[in-house]
Amino acid sequence: MKDQKKVLSRRRFLGYSVAGVAGLVVLPGLATSCKTAAPDTDIKLGFIGMGRQSMFLLSGFIQLPGVKVLAGCDVYGIKRKRFEKRVTEFYTKAGKEVKVDTYEKFEDLLARTDINAVVIAVPDHSHARIAIAALKAGKDVYL
């Protein structure tokens, strides 16, 4: 009976292995968690296309904690004004100050270095061209 306790069973081996791997994963994370956090971890979002689908997506994204809607783009001026009004009203009611810019050309929005992700809600035939340009500009894309 004493000899059986010294034998390493498959179950114990797997348990020790999992505990060892977990230690390797968790311990470095604990060491780095003591460092100061990044100064700004918010997702700064731009919208390309401001039709019905975009307004629906805006209603969802703008309410997420950690997301700031900073800009929008559409070829139609009336849609740009509607977007700017809706975003400004939301942030005013929330007691936050965010400046919202609108553009006619999507290239101008993609040129902004402070925006790190874009929502593309344009007609299907334009998806690929705009998405490729956004990815080349280093933006994350919701399409």
Neighbours of 70 (CB within 10 A): 19
Regarding whether 52 and 10 lie in a shared domain, the answer is no
pLDDT mean values, one per 10 residues, the chain (143 residues): 62 61 55 52 94 94 94 96 95 91 96 96 93 96 93
Number of domains, the chain? 2
Regarding whether 24 and 52 lie in a shared domain, the answer is no
Regarding whether 128 and 64 lie in a shared domain, the answer is yes
For position 129, which CATH number holds? 3.40.50.720
Regarding whether 91 and 58 lie in a shared domain, the answer is yes
Domain residue limits at 18: 2-33
Regarding whether 89 and 19 lie in a shared domain, the answer is no
What pTM was computed for the model? 0.71
